Amino acid sequence: MVFLPQLPHNNKEEIKHMMTQKLVKLFSPDSVAVIGASNSFDKLGYHVMKSLVGHYAGKIYPINLKGGKVWNLDSYASLAEVPGNIDLAIIVVPAALVPETLHQCGGKGVKGAVLITAGFREIEDSQGGVLQERIRKICDQYEMPIIGPNTSGFANIAFGIDASFTSEFCELEKGGVAIISQSGGLCHLCGFLALHQRMGVSSLMSLGNRLNVGFPEAVRFFIEEDEATKVIALYIEGLDEPRELLDMARSLRGKKPIVAYKSGKSAKSDSASKFHTGSLAGNHEIWKGAFRQAGILEVTSSEELIDTAKVLDSCALARGNRITVLSGQAGPGIIAADALEAYGLSLSQFSAATKEKINEYLPPIVIRTNPVDMGPVWYNPKAMFDILNAVIEDEGTDGVIFINLYASANLSLASAMAEHIKNIDAFKKPVIGVITAPPGVWDDGIKRLDRKKGIAILPTPERAAKAMSNLWKANLLSARGK
Amino acid sequence: MVFLPQLPHNNKEEIKHMMTQKLVKLFSPDSVAVIGASNSFDKLGYHVMKSLVGHYAGKIYPINLKGGKVWNLDSYASLAEVPGNIDLAIIVVPAALVPETLHQCGGKGVKGAVLITAGFREIEDSQGGVLQERIRKICDQYEMPIIGPNTSGFANIAFGIDASFTSEFCELEKGGVAIISQSGGLCHLCGFLALHQRMGVSSLMSLGNRLNVGFPEAVRFFIEEDEATKVIALYIEGLDEPRELLDMARSLRGKKPIVAYKSGKSAKSDSASKFHTGSLAGNHEIWKGAFRQAGILEVTSSEELIDTAKVLDSCALARGNRITVLSGQAGPGIIAADALEAYGLSLSQFSAATKEKINEYLPPIVIRTNPVDMGPVWYNPKAMFDILNAVIEDEGTDGVIFINLYASANLSLASAMAEHIKNIDAFKKPVIGVITAPPGVWDDGIKRLDRKKGIAILPTPERAAKAMSNLWKANLLSARGK
């Protein structure tokens, strides 16, 4: 933890409590000042205002030296002139002005800040590092938590604030995944993937240079303090003190699943990620082992990170590796079966009761063993739903991949299936649906498949199989810690 | 080849020529009869009509016993009553009526048929196989090529006909990829992926039971006869006579790239795919070697099939494995570099001229080695474009991954970049763009990045890296055949 040792207090627990309280206010502020707010489209201060105005329900104070209206709100020439309290300051002024700005924040009693401004430790010019040390001392002086510098900001979707320069994050659906990215670019990539995939997000943020809020602080916050968060998704480039994150994850093991995507595997990309200081940064094999020991589930691509977080948020864990494939179309069922075996899962055997239920509905002309070709009951959503339930009840099955491709020709079937799922409590075993349709055909219907029903939708059979294997690995990692 | 040996002719070349001429008419018909056309939404004959009416410019003859109007067109009680010639018959009547229907088609001089009806060799009941033999003989008698039975049909996007029961295929963008799928389900999965990804398609089809048009016939047709097709994408479950396809591919090697996704890798899924007859069907290692020898590029997922076909259609092949990553955001550039190395590619070294050009634009504060952090020229699309061109000119670079994430805040930059690309001839080395935006933000702009410019857009850095590795493998496979 970067922050604590440098504070003047003696009682670490007390400081931790105070810091946590400040982080709560930072992430769920009642009032926000935007320092460098602007009416000019070319300025980041414009886009931060765009993310807030009309979306955020708390008080917004634009700070702008010129005064006048900014985004139709009265602006203030300085923080000191703001009449009320300020929980969060979002700072977009040039780097040279940041020290003075932070003093003003401290003086005003701001609870925490998002420092979007870049030009600190991340630049090659050593003056960047000097400036970063300078502002670190100022933040220490005021005991003020800072996201950044060199961050794209954060969005707390569950609470209702987008404190970033990307207003599209306001469109993210509410859910249980907290995305914590070292890089602003990956934060955006993951956010855009989440939007395209309708993944439910609690919060998303980029940590940037991690002045005093790094992975350990952020992860602990979302595990211990943020009720909306059910799953933590991390993008890590390199860490100065990897042990802090790993020890913290181990100590909180089993509380909320943590999924991590670590880059810098190759020598060149590691050099590009500019992390030469952390002892564990360079050797990916060591990272793999360390993640496993800490109970962190490692993934190997940005899409796998989002897919896995999505199923962890929506579905039960897979208590074993025996999976059933039910498919309205034979071909996609076959490729799901292939992929499951490739990822170390096996196809479940059915009990007598399950066989009976399947035989009740499916004629002997099709494959009734796993993968099950549901073609003949394609026009009978009730039958498909009954077979799905029978398989979930079967003790020999630990999870189900449920595949249906809908075009406009069978929209009514898709809707009938959605109605069935709407009326259940929740599947008690993981169900990953590959319920695919052309753009625009069934967007609403897919939306109606509520993530509270224990089912998550992924775009292809292979990605569903990979995500199912991660639900099984997450279960193993979670159990190992108990 | 299933068809030829059973024809009564002696001159194989002559028959082949005649069959090819018939296939040309089948895939590009001037007139179509829909046998089993219907006004009832619950019937496949309704959806086949929906795919044609308002989309297909040729003559449409609905055939329906009840007569009257079907989809507001005059219907005919039988084929014989149709006044004009019929190039293509699309058949959706019950299996028992198919023999008589095919006799009518033969009698009318129909050039070819799409037999959507199922219930033949694919069912467990041995009567299905018997019926299939019966209709095979009828087709032989009339020398009539048949797609199916048990097919979802085809769509020739380049010509302008959707002869399937899925009208959404009409929305596919025109391009150079012919998708030939054994399974109707995979045909739909690939078609939907193509729609979501804006992949340009020439034709797409499912072969179904392959009565007399199988992979060899279809692949040969799209390589030799269909000018719109530049790339062939195959989904294969199993083949009775794999040698025919492999020999044919080898003989036409280097003409158009063939990409194949083969399922049935595991024992269970192989059994599910119901192919026990082909000697090569069960052992995937043998398939792998056979594909390589035939110059067919093998892929291992449905998304990789579409991604690879897309870049093969749009981009030049990668003449080597030295790749440059240019990224507007550092993090995504780093994960691209990681993925490239994981897929056996390497990061290129820059020549003095390239370094000079990069140094002209980029300040020393950022990484100017590969991967290049283009952050400082993010607001200068001309500079990004100049650096891109310098890298392409560099003899040490065989391909470029060009990453830019755009939110509404930088839409004007995205449009400026699109304008630059619009005005070039075409990149002479492969450029894969990861140009990502939230839904709705830049859909039009991405559309304007014409595939004729030698650039293809993929959704993530990792998928771009995988596709680039396939552009290199395709080059090796193509060169080996010469």
Q: Which of B192, B265, B365 lies at the smallest CB-CB distance from A405?
A: B192
Question: Which amino acid is residue A323, in one-letter code?
Answer: I
Which of the residues B172, B338, B436 would you substitute to probe the A interface, choosing the one with the greatest number of A C-beta atoms within 10 Å?
Answer: B338
Q: What's the rounded mean pLDDT across residues A69-80?
A: 96
Domains of chain B: 4-311 (3.40.50.261), 315-480 (3.40.50.261)
- Cβ(A418)–Cβ(B145) below 8 Å: no
Written as six digits, the tokens of A470 are 């991660």
- Taking only residues 255 to 284 of chain A, the set having a beta carbon closer than 8 angstroms to any beta carbon of chain B reads 261, 263-266, 268-269, 272-274
CA dihedral sign of residues A466, A256, A204, A59:
positive
Query: Is residue A279 pLDDT above 70, yes or no?
Result: no
Give dist(CA A79, CA A65) in Å, integer. Answer: 10
Give dist(CA B250, CA A397) in Å, integer. Answer: 44
Give dist(CA A451, CA B205) in Å, integer. Answer: 34
Question: Which amino acid is residue B98, in one-letter code?
Answer: V
CA dihedral A168, A174, A178, A184 (to 10 degrees): 0
Chain A / chain B CB contacts < 8 angstroms? 232
Which of A173-177, A246-250, A412-416, B309-313 shows the lowest mean pLDDT across its residues? Answer: A412-416
pLDDT tens-place string over residues B64-102:
998 899 999 999 999 999 999 999 999 999 999 999 999
Bridging pattern class, strands B69-70 and B73-74: antiparallel
Confidence of residue A5 (pLDDT cuts 50, 70, 90): very low
SS3 B446: helix
Interchain CB distance below 8 Å, B339 and A462: no
- Taking only residues 60 to 99 of chain B, the set having a beta carbon closer than 8 angstroms to any beta carbon of chain A reads none
Q: Rounded mean pLDDT of chain B?
A: 90
Confidence of residue B14 (pLDDT cuts 50, 70, 90): confident
CB neighbour burial string for B408-447, b if at least 16 within 10 angstroms, e if fewer: bbbeebbebbbeebeeeeebebbbbbbbbbbeebbeebbe
pLDDT tens-place string over residues B166-194:
999 999 999 999 999 999 999 999 999 99
* ipTM confidence score: 0.93
What A270-276 contacts at long range (C-beta under 8 Å, 24+ apart), as own/partner pairs, is: A270/A238, A272/B330, A272/B333, A272/B334, A272/B337, A272/B367, A272/B369, A272/B371, A272/B373, A273/A237, A273/A238, A273/B334, A274/A122, A274/A237, A274/A238, A274/B367, A275/A237, A275/A238, A275/A239, A275/A240
Interchain CB distance below 8 Å, B460 and A301: yes
Written as six digits, the tokens of B259 are 């990409």
Residues in chain A: 482
Looking at beta carbons, which residues of chain A come within 8 Å of B181? 331
Nearest CA in chain B to A188: B405
Q: Does B462 touch chain A (CB under 8 A)?
A: yes
CA dihedral sign of residues B225, B226, B230, B232:
negative
- Of B397, B450, B470, B366, whose CA–CA distance to B389 is shortest? B397
pLDDT tens-place string over residues B380-408:
989 999 999 999 999 999 999 999 998 88
pLDDT tens-place string over residues A318-358:
999 999 999 999 899 999 999 999 999 999 999 999 999 99
pLDDT, position B279: 38
Q: Does A298 touch chain B (CB under 8 A)?
A: no
- Taking only residues 144 to 203 of chain B, the set having a beta carbon closer than 8 angstroms to any beta carbon of chain A reads 165-168, 171, 181-186, 188-189, 191-193, 195-196
Which of A304-313, B247-256, B263-272, B355-364 shows the lowest mean pLDDT across its residues? Answer: B263-272
pLDDT, position A382: 92
Q: Is the peptide bond before B94 cis (omega within 30 degrees of 0)?
A: no
pLDDT, position A57: 98
CB neighbour burial string for A121-131, b if at least 16 within 10 angstroms, e if fewer: bbbeeeebeeb
Helix (H) or strand (E) holding A246: helix A242-251
DSSP string computed for A300-366: SSHHHHHHHHHHHHHSPPPSSSEEEEEESSHHHHHHHHHHHHHTT-EEPPPPHHHHHHHHHHS-TTS
Written as six digits, the tokens of A39 are 């009416």
CB neighbour burial string for B90-123, b if at least 16 within 10 angstroms, e if fewer: bbbbebeebeebbebbbebebbbbbbbbbbbbbb
Confidence of residue B285 (pLDDT cuts 50, 70, 90): confident
Q: Does B415 touch chain A (CB under 8 A)?
A: no
Interchain CB distance below 8 Å, A338 and B460: no
Interchain CB distance below 8 Å, A339 and B272: no
Looking at beta carbons, which residues of chain B come within 8 Å of A302? 335, 460-462
pLDDT, position B377: 86
- Taking only residues 329 to 348 of chain B, the set having a beta carbon closer than 8 angstroms to any beta carbon of chain A reads 329-335, 337-339, 341-342, 347
Written as six digits, the tokens of B456 are 């293809």
Looking at beta carbons, which residues of chain A come within 8 Å of B166? 407, 409
Who has greater pLDDT, A276 or B388? B388
Question: Which amino acid is residue B220, in one-letter code?
Answer: R
Nearest CA in chain A to B364: A124
Which of A127-136, A244-253, A295-304, A370-379 shows the lowest mean pLDDT across its residues? Answer: A370-379
Bridging pattern class, strands A146-147 and A112-115: parallel
Distance set, CA B400 to CA A113, A127, B329 (Å): 38, 33, 15
Helix (H) or strand (E) holding A124: none
Smallest CA–CA separation between B424 and chain A, in Å? Answer: 28
Written as six digits, the tokens of A311 are 């199923």
Q: Does A22 touch chain B (CB under 8 A)?
A: no
Q: Which of A44, A366, A405 lies at the smallest CB-CB distance from B188?
A: A405
Interchain CB distance below 8 Å, B167 and A237: no
Q: Residue A196, class by beta-carbon neighbours within 10 Å (0-12 exposed, 13-18 middle, 19+ buried)?
A: middle
Looking at beta carbons, which residues of chain A come within 8 Å of B437? 192
